[in-house]
Structure formats: structure tokens, C-alpha cells
Structure 1
Amino acid sequence: MRRALDRLYDGCAALAACFMVGLLVAVLLSILGRQLHFNIPGIDAYAGYLMAGAGFLALAHTLKRGEHIRVTLLVGRLSGGAQRAAELWALFAATLLAALGAFYSVRLARQSWQFHDISTSNDATPLWIPQLTMALGTVVLAIAFVDEFVLELRGQRLPPLPEEASHNE
């Protein structure tokens, strides 16, 4: 199960990286279009879709690598059982919030598909297509938070500290 979850997080991160490359290509095409006097309709909208997709798809991988911003002002001052209880509470609350975000993201994409909602820009893209990346990213983030919560309950979670965070003064 651990390997399957790690592959899921890594797969979403790889897809996010592909979206970042696509974003770079879209921005470069937009710049070239202005310089060489040609227009690709909707390129700015597509760049926005790719940027949003990259951000949402990278959320779970970022969480699992300990790169999410954490405010440890209170938890860092606690020790022993109090610290573990605070971690469990924080992970439980984050899991609930991630599950709500996932639920409503999936619901939004489904409703956009049902109502044939399209982009208001000149690309007229069916909105459920770019919203799928948001839905997938939030669902995988919710899975990652459940994973972290279960690991903490079992006492197997080692909160990863990024190098940069440990050097802050």
C-alpha cells in the first residue's frame, strides 16, 4: 500500500511538472506571438489552466516531502503527549478541510460538465476539463492527509523538516 500511495503522489508531481513545461511553452508562444504579430486564441487562458493544474497536482507531493508551510509556534513549544495530541488535532482538522475541498472541487467539475459551462474567454473551453486537475489534486491531497493522520496515529510518522526550515533564525 505504501508503494502505491508514493507512486500516486509522485505521478501527480510528474504530471504537475508536465503542466509547468506546458505553461512555459504557452507563455513563450504568447510572447513570440506579440513580437512576431500572430495570435493564438485563448493562449492566456490555457496558460492559466496549466498554472492552476500544476499547483493543485503538486499539493500532495509537497505535503509528503514536508514542504508545505507549517506554523509550529504552538506545537514546537509542546513536548511529549501534548505535542502528539496537537499534531493529531492539526492533522485531523487538515484532513477534514482537504476532504471538504476535494468534495467541492469534484462537485464543481461535475456541475460544469452537467451544465455545459464554458470559459468566458475567447477559447470557450468546457470548464470541466481544467477543473478536473483541481479535483484530482484536491482528492490526492485529501488522501495524503489521511495517510499522514494514520501514520501519526500508528506512531510511524516522522515529520520531515526541510533543510531550509532548519536554518531559519
Structure 2
Amino acid sequence: MTLPSTPQEETGGIAVLQRTADLLSVTGGWAAAGCILGLTGLVLAEIIVAFLARFIPAMPSGIGIGWEYSAYLMGSSFLLGAGMTLRAGLQLRVEILLRAGRGRFAAALELFSALLGTALCGFLAVTLVRLALRTYGYGEVSQDSFTPLWIPQSVLALGATILALQMAVRLIAALTGRPLDRPDLGAATAIE
């Protein structure tokens, strides 16, 4: 998988770090899209089974693991796509603060938000990795489908780790005056 090239490819350690984080974020974005497709297929299958159950008495009225796997897929899509959303500049923001004083405080607010975001996302990633490892160690499974819980938890931990890396790279970019957003990575446009 290759990323769209920027108008001027930068060199140096920070540029390599940004490109690596971007590649991981785009890969996570594609995985998130796969989760959304899987979720859509699961919901459609649930609807079809419920419809057919009205006419076929022996058919169950739903898919037993539908709700459980829907939750796994929704959480996974959210966290796997969050890094790409952040880098593309499509995350929800309070723009009124950035525009206050005609942008005089924008750099300081970006730096503060990147610092806070790095700390919070790093904590989330470490916590989810520890949870997945603990669950794997204990061999815990879900009650409905007997799915080993470390599997969906690992996907969540991966998404949180990608987001934390992208947030840390954003902090470095804010500290060094590099561009923070890369709109060409977005799958949509920002709604103003």
C-alpha cells in the first residue's frame, strides 16, 4: 500500500516518522472500512433471518451472536479509523477557540491539544494492550459465542495504538512547526 505523495516529499527523521504513522493510519482506515462492511453484512443478515422466521417456523428469529459481533465491529471501526481521521484533519474540533484573536493563539492551542491528546491516547493504548494481554492470559471467552475476548480486544488495542502514534507525531509536528493535517488522506471533506 502506498500513500499519495505530498507536493514536496520531506526528508529526515520526523518526515519518516510522519510517513510511517500515515501508512499505519491509512491501513487502519482500510481495516475500519472492512469492519463497517462486515457490520453492514451482519445487520442485513439479521434482518433477512428475522424476515424469514415469520414464514418458516423452524427458523430462529435472529442471529445469536449478532449483537455481540456488531459491538466488536463498531468499536473496531471507530478506533482503527481514528488515526487517519486525525491526520486528515477531519476530527471534531472547537474551531472557535482556534480562531479567537484572529488565530494568534492557534499554535499554542494546537500544541496544548496535541500534548493532552498524546497523554490520553497513550494511556488508552497502554490500558487496552494490558487488558488484551490479561484476557489472553486468563483465557476469557464471551458468554454468548465463546469467542476468546483477547481477539476483539487486540483489535481495539491496535486501533488505540495507531491513534496514540498519530497523536504523538502530531505533537512533534506542532513542536517543530510542520503541517499538522494532511487533507489528501481523508475519505471525505470536513463539514463546516
Taking structure 1 as the reference length, the TM-score comes to 0.87
* Counterpart residue number, 1:157: 179
SS in 2 for 1:69: coil
Task: Give % identity.
Answer: 30
Offset of residue 123 of structure 1: 1.0
Contact 1:30/1:44, CA 8 A, preserved across alignment? no
SS in 2 for 1:15: helix
* Counterpart residue number, 1:19: 35
Contact 2:21/2:162, CA 8 A, preserved across alignment? no
Contact 1:60/1:144, CA 8 A, preserved across alignment? yes
Offset of residue 103 of structure 1: 0.7
SS in 2 for 1:164: coil
Moved over 6 A (4+): none
Offset of residue 75 of structure 1: 3.0
Offset of residue 158 of structure 1: 4.4
| Structure 1: unaligned runs, 5 residues or longer | none
2: distance between equivalents of 1:3 and 1:160? 11
Contact 1:26/1:44, CA 8 A, preserved across alignment? no
Deviations 1:34-72 (A, max 9, x none): 111234431221122111111110000110111111113
2: distance between equivalents of 1:35 and 1:114? 41
Q: 1:14 to 1:74 in 2, by over 3 A?
A: same
Query: Which residue identity is paired with 1:164?
Result: I
2: distance between equivalents of 1:35 and 1:92? 51
Q: 1:3 to 1:23 in 2, by over 3 A?
A: same
Query: Which residue identity is paired with 1:155?
Result: G
Deviations 1:68-103 (A, max 9, x none): 1111333321444x4322221111011101100111
Equivalent residues, number: 163
Q: Which has the larger radius of gyration?
A: 2
Taking structure 2 as the reference length, the TM-score comes to 0.78
CA RMSD for the aligned pairs? Answer: 1.8
| Structure 2: unaligned runs, 5 residues or longer | 1-15, 54-58, 184-188
2: distance between equivalents of 1:158 and 1:93? 15
Q: 1:158 to 1:42 in 2, by over 3 A?
A: closer
